[in-house]
Structure 1
Amino acid sequence: MMVQWRFKSKFTTYSEQPLSSGLSGAEIAQKMLHENGIYDVQVISVEGQLTDHYNPTNKTVNLSPEVYHGRSVAAAAVAAHECGHAVQHATAYSWLQFRSAMVPIVNVASRITQFTLMIGVMLAVFSHVYLLLQIGVAALAVTTLFSFITLPVEFDASKRALAWLDTSNVTHSKTEHDGAKDALKWAAMTYVIAALSALVTLLYYAQMLAGRRDD
């Protein structure tokens, strides 16, 4: 919660810092895509706050209104980061391919995790039946692995974004570059915390399963 609060605070701060180039997030996204030889990805606006993402299925860079229309350091950082994912897709970045291949399995695992863990714990306590709890722990292990695979994908997208922002002169000054870097750093921290939280939860249930089976 603290990291989420800090990220939102940073985003708000850099949203109020004008970009000297005067480009909007949508214009920056289009520029980055074209300069990387990508012409089959559409940049669109989606409702919500911090709903920005790249969809490899329909090849769209989806930007929240604040980023799509924004002409700030934060808008530039987020737009370039999402386009970083599009560049990963276009260049067959291995970690992104691995992550995308896991999506169908993770979707199933995410749907059954809560149910299997909740019912599985009850069955293990009262009936010494461990199968459902084992399935729950296995499903949780899949989603935890997915969280960690997401980290190099996000870090690489930010690295590509910052490098391009500098070489394209979208961020003209050191202040703008440092602001974009700081915003993306805190965005990445939310993924790190999510992965660590998933790992702690997995270890908790795995230990519970091991302890119950030893009884």
Structure 2
Amino acid sequence: MSYLIYFAIIILIPIYAQMKVRSAYKKYSEVPSSTGMTGAQVARQILDEKGLYNVTVEETPGVLSDHYDPRSKTVRLSSNNFHGHSLAGTAVAAHEVGHAIQDQEAYAFLRLRHTLVPVASIGSNFSWILIMIGIFAGMANLLLLGIIFMAAAVVFQIVTLPVEFNASSRAMDQVVSLGIIRNDEERETKKVLDAAALTYVAAAAVAVLELVRLVLMYTGMTRSDD
């Protein structure tokens, strides 16, 4: 019964986070910004203000597919945010530019996250193979190796949190100081950013819970072998 409750929790946490971000995004996608600026214009204005003339702004297909690519120095905004005039689009565009500013300033946690990408990728791809074999074959050492690989992916998730929160903080500072949003729009913009941040918090929480569960499983397995 306790396992059913546990798995229900780790499934429901990310679902709840996704529902929150989609709800906030949908709501404020229908609220036009007072300046009437598109997401592309918001991104360009902040970038130019920070002297990041080498960073381009491009449209990318999909919904909430917005991201900053540090390799090509490109802020990519989904079509609705690129062309739209909404508060949601303003928030998302400013957030992605926040990552470009982090890149320019060599923000420590962003650099650390980039360093961890290959390790986290390997950990995500191979950890569960080792873990499942270790569990079903009763091989504690193999389970431990899988846990170590998984821990690398968990560290990546945790390091992502300050990166995302900092990008949102930079976004709010810029849209307020440049007059891109005004008065009560600050509260609505922050709601979009907070909802988006919740998805990263949920992912990190689930990853940590699962890692703790596997560590406890490993310790139980080693005790039974003694």
Give the CA deviation at 1:178.
0.8
Alignment of 1:183-202 (within 5 A): 183-202=192-211
Q: Residues of 1 paired with 2:86 and 2:66: CA distance?
A: 15
Q: TM-score, normalised by structure 1?
A: 0.95
1:43 aligns with 2:52: no
Q: Residues of 1 paired with 2:51 and 2:60: CA distance?
A: 24
1:157 aligns with 2:171: no
Corresponding position of 1:141: 151
Q: Deviation per CA, 1:139-194, whole angstroms, max 9, x where unpaired?
A: 1111111111000000000000001000100002x221111101101111111111
Q: Residues of 2 paired with 1:18 and 1:104: CA distance?
A: 40
Q: 1:74 aligns with which of 78, 88, 94?
A: 88
Give the CA deviation at 1:131.
2.5
Q: 2:38 aligns with which of 24, 27, 47?
A: 24
Q: Residues of 2 paired with 1:64 and 1:115: CA distance?
A: 35
Give the CA deviation at 1:6.
1.4
Where in structure 2 are there 5+ consecutive unaligned residues? 1-14
Alignment of 1:1-215 (within 5 A): 1-124=15-138, 129-172=139-182, 174-215=183-224
Q: Residues of 2 paired with 1:158 and 1:113: CA distance?
A: 31
1:18 is paired with a residue whose SS is coil
Matched-pair identity in %: 39
Q: Residues of 2 paired with 1:64 and 1:130: CA distance?
A: 46
Give the CA deviation at 1:214.
0.7
1:49 is paired with a residue whose SS is coil
Cα RMSD between the aligned structures?
A: 0.9
Q: Residues of 2 paired with 1:44 and 1:120: CA distance?
A: 46
1:71 is paired with a residue whose SS is coil
Q: Residues of 2 paired with 1:45 and 1:135: CA distance?
A: 42
Give the CA deviation at 1:4.
1.1
